[in-house]
């Protein structure tokens, strides 16, 4: 029985949260890798663009709640996300037209575009804070838990309870559907194949009749979808605070680089690598070992490798190790 309690403990505090967190990082990492693979620059505004999409989702959620529109036990934000995507895509196309387009046409080096994206990051961050403020916002309504810890204990007779939030299940399911649709689009459709060709060899793609303006526009549209959904899912699962999204830029970039910058599938896996690494290394295992070890060997300390305050240090360490020993990441950096 103690072994089962130990397994449930890990499921509750490591496996389920890491799956949800990894899904959110995966969407952000795919955003980064698409922009890098097709538009050829590192977009440091990723976190704040996700913040912008989440902000619009919250505003529409509040509006629908004001009108009395809801989805019952599901969050009203699911209705708001499509409207937020439209605003997010419009904002990205606007930024591209008035900022990135000039440097792209001028054939500016990638590092210059990356620096420009930092400027976009600060502007976007300021816009979000002006509109919605810097405070913590919770915009989840409906039933919070699919399985509650107390109910699980009563049902199984175990000492440990398993709690699964509906937002965690929604995050995992939506991510799998969205990523599957994206991979199908990139590999099976004519437009997706054109994007891959443009990524592999821009000059040859142009000679083949591929319209670069169309490729750029579709790339930003896909990025807008990923940013809005990824940001909204993170906000639903936890809460929305603009500065938190800025902090998430490090694990998102780490996930993209671990998977192989420019490779969407690698970025998808990289999100889970970073999420599980952060949670595994910052979790306190004292209770887990108390279930497995005899009383004489039970630990007196938390058995925690790193404090949760050093969560982002895990991402940074993994990023450094990958850059030193395998710069190409898990997979070679190219669009699938």
Q: Examine the pLDDT at 336 and tell me if it is beyond 70.
A: no
Model confidence at 335, in pLDDT bands (50, 70, 90)?
Answer: low
Give, in order, the Cα–Cα distances in Å from 289 to each of 72, 188, 202, 298, 304.
Answer: 41, 49, 55, 7, 12
Query: Are the beta carbons of 163 and 148 closer than 8 angstroms?
Result: yes
Nearest partner of 27 among 198, 246, 223, 167, judged by Cα = 223
Q: What is the pLDDT of residues 114-133, one digit of tens each?
A: 999 999 999 999 999 999 98
Query: Are the beta carbons of 316 and 294 closer than 8 angstroms?
Result: no
Q: What CA–CA distance (Å, rounded) separates 169 from 175?
A: 10
- 311-324 burial code (b ≥16 CB/10 A, e <16): beebbeebbeebee
Q: What is the mean pLDDT of residues 310-335?
A: 82
Q: What CA–CA distance (Å, rounded) separates 312 from 244?
A: 12
Query: Are the beta carbons of 277 and 23 closer than 8 angstroms?
Result: no
Model confidence at 22, in pLDDT bands (50, 70, 90)?
Answer: very high
Model confidence at 141, in pLDDT bands (50, 70, 90)?
Answer: confident
Q: What is the pLDDT of residues 193-228, one digit of tens each?
A: 999 888 888 777 777 888 889 999 999 999 999 999
Q: 10 Å Cβ neighbour count for 325?
A: 7
| Interacting residues of 34 by C-beta distance below 8 A, sequence separation 6+ | 219, 222, 223, 226, 264, 335
Q: What is the pLDDT of residues 151-172, one digit of tens each?
A: 888 888 888 889 998 899 999 9
145 three-state secondary structure:
strand
Q: Examine the pLDDT at 332 and tell me if it is beyond 70.
A: no
Burial (CB count <10 Å: 0-12, 13-18, 19+), residue 239: middle
- 265-302 burial code (b ≥16 CB/10 A, e <16): bbbbbbbbbbbbbbbbbbbebebbebbeeeeeeeeeee
Q: What are phi and psi of 165, to 5 degrees?
A: -80, 145
The tokens describing 96, both together, are 């591209």
Question: Tokens 């529409």 identify what position?
Answer: 60
Q: Examine the pLDDT at 8 and tell me if it is beyond 70.
A: yes
Q: What is the pLDDT of residues 80-96, one digit of tens each?
A: 999 999 999 999 999 99
Query: Percentage of the chain with pLDDT > 70?
Result: 98
**pTM as predicted:** 0.93
Question: Tokens 């790339």 identify what position?
Answer: 219
Q: What is the pLDDT of residues 250-308, one digit of tens each?
A: 999 999 999 888 889 999 999 999 999 999 999 999 888 888 888 777 788 888 888 88
């Amino acid at each position: 029985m103690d072994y089962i309690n130990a397994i449930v403990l890990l499921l509750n505090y490591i496996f389920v949260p890491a799956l949800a967190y990894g899904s959110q990082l995966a969407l952000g990492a795919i955003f980064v890798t698409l922009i890098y693979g097709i538009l050829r620059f590192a977009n440091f505004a990723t976190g704040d663009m996700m913040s912008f999409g989440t902000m619009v989702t919250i505003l529409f959620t509040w509006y629908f709640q004001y009108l009395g529109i809801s989805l019952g036990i599901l969050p009203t934000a699911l209705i708001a996300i499509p409207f937020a995507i439209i605003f997010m895509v419009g904002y990205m196309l606007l930024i591209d037209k008035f900022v990135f387009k000039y440097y792209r046409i001028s054939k500016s080096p990638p590092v210059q575009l990356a620096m420009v994206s930092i400027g976009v990051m600060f502007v976007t961050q300021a816009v979000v804070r002006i509109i919605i403020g810097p405070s913590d916002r919770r915009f989840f309504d409906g039933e919070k838990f699919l399985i509650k810890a107390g109910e699980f204990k009563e049902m199984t007779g175990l000492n440990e309870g398993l709690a699964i939030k509906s937002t965690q299940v929604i995050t995992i399911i939506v991510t799998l559907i969205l990523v599957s649709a994206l991979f199908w689009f990139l590999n099976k459709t004519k437009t997706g194949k054109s994007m891959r060709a443009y990524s592999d060899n821009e000059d040859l793609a142009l000679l083949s009749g591929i319209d670069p303006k169309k490729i750029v526009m579709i790339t930003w549209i896909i990025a807008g979808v990923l940013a809005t959904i990824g940001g909204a899912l993170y906000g639903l699962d936890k809460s929305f605070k603009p500065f938190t999204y800025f902090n998430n830029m490090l694990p998102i970039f780490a996930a993209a680089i671990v998977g192989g910058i420019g490779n969407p599938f690698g970025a998808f896996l990289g999100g889970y690598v970073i999420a599980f690494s952060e949670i595994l290394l910052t979790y306190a295992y004292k209770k887990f070992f108390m279930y497995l070890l005899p009383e004489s060997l039970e630990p007196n300390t938390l058995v925690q490798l790193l404090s949760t305050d050093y969560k982002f240090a895990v991402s940074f360490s993994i990023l450094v190790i990958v850059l030193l020993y395998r710069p190409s990441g898990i997979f070679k950096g190219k669009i699938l």
